[in-house]
Amino acid sequence: MSINREKIIELPKIHDKRGNLTFLQNPDSIPFKIKRVFWTYDVPGGEKRGGHAYKNQEEMVIALSGSFDVVITEKNGSTKRVSLNRSYNGLYLPALTWRHIENFSTNALALHISSSKFDAKDYIREFNTFKSFV
């Protein structure tokens, strides 16, 4: 049985001829209380971000601009690739989900919404430790 229960959450879209609007609000749009928000940008071609799991933190990742792939790795080594390229789709990542992000387009902007404040002790940074942890 997989412990990963990642899923795409489609966020509300307000269509308007002047431009569209998408928003987040608790508890309707996101399955946890927001404690931290950060973003990644200016990622050089060929670079990867992430490469870890969180013990407790839940996260949602949104491509606000451009595109990138979130690669989720199960403890048996199998992978699932989720391409994000629409600002109204958020990828929910529960705790204990090993992931990295790659294939960033030019000017990609990734928004990360977290259920916890930064805590270095919450990170699992070695895949073998992750496999034994879960």
> For all residues of the chain together, what is the average pLDDT?
93
Q: How far apart are CA 53 and CA 58, in angstroms?
A: 10
pTM of the model: 0.91
pLDDT at 61: 98
Q: How far apart are CA 32 and CA 79, in angstroms?
A: 25
Q: How far apart are CA 130 and CA 118, in angstroms?
A: 19
**What pLDDT, in 10s, does the model give residues 44-69?**
989 999 999 999 999 999 999 999 99
Residue 55 Cα to chain centre, angstroms:
15
59: part of which helix (H) or strand (E)? strand 59-65
What are the residues facing 54 on neighbouring strands?
123
**What domains appear along the chain, each with residue ranges and CATH number?**
7-133 (2.60.120.10)
**What pLDDT, in 10s, does the model give residues 72-89?**
999 888 999 999 999 999
